[in-house]
Structure 1
Amino acid sequence: MSRTLILIGLAIVAVGLLWPWVSKLPLGHLPGDIVIKRKNVAFYFPITTMILVSVVLSLLVWLFQR
């Protein structure tokens, strides 16, 4: 359990350090992301981004478990 928490903490630190470059990626603005804007309401559902992140995380978990 402690090893897992340390790895999660290191991952959070790594993302924090890389944030200036990560924020420039077009995640959240991919084709297939649903955006509905009305006068007083904006609805945003990043389905393509969620699928892409899920695939990448699944591949990483699969690689680390081998």
Structure 2
Amino acid sequence: MTELPKLLMITGAVLLLAGLLMQWIGKLPGDFVFKRGNTTVYFPIVTSIVISILLTVLFSIIGRFK
């Protein structure tokens, strides 16, 4: 049960970093934006791939210390 607070703190830190990256990176080439009338749909495909790669590397590094 002592691992749950540690896991929650790591998850919170990762989400915070992902949010900061989204603010700094913004829209990357390859992210699709469709505008029609009053409707805008945004698909951050490339941004999602970059964040996925970064999180995979981060979790693999954290996993080695367990």
What corresponds to 1:26 in structure 2?
25
Higher helix share: 2
Distance 1:8 1:64, change over 3 A: same
Q: For this pair of structures, how many residues does the alignment match?
A: 58
What corresponds to 1:8 in structure 2?
11
CA distance in 2, matches of 1:49, 1:7: 21
Q: TM (normalized to structure 1)?
A: 0.69
Gaps of 5+ in 2: none
* Percentage of pairs with the same residue: 36
CA distance in 1, matches of 2:34, 2:9: 40
Cα RMSD between the aligned structures? Answer: 2.5
Gaps of 5+ in 1: none
What corresponds to 2:42 in structure 1?
44
Distance 1:56 1:37, change over 3 A: same
What corresponds to 1:60 in structure 2?
58
